[in-house]
Amino acid sequence: MSLQKKLSAMKKGFEAQAPKEAVEIIHRATHDLEKSGILDSTVKVGDEAPDFALQNADGQEFRLKELLAQGPVVLNFYRGKW
């Protein structure tokens, strides 16, 4: 099963179980975000990522530009705090 199909199934399952008011709030917020134009300023497939710096768990800083000079980079995004 593709990721899109899995996400669609999860969405249907959530909407079937969640309170109607919660589902309406989520739909309204999603619609408002889409109308806001926020997607126009996001990085798209094939775009060059802007340079940035992040710290690892030991506090050592890494810059994307420096890592790219060494070879390909894989970015992995996690939601939440560590």
Write out the DSSP string of 24-75.
Answer: HHHHHHHHHHHHHTGGGGS--TTPPPPP-EEE-TTS-EEEHHHHHHHS----
Token output for 38: 């926020």
Number of Cβ within 10 Å of residue 38's Cβ equals 10
0.85 exceeded by pTM: no
| Separation of alpha carbons 43 and 31, rounded Å | 20
Q: What is the reported pLDDT for 82?
A: 58
User: Residue 56: is its pLDDT beyond 80?
Assistant: yes
Q: What is the reported pLDDT for 81?
A: 66
Confidence band, pLDDT 50/70/90 cuts, at residue 39: confident
User: Residue 60: is its pLDDT beyond 80?
Assistant: yes
Average pLDDT estimate for 39-60? 89
| Separation of alpha carbons 2 and 27, rounded Å | 23
Token output for 58: 């030991």
User: Residue 25: is its pLDDT beyond 80?
Assistant: yes
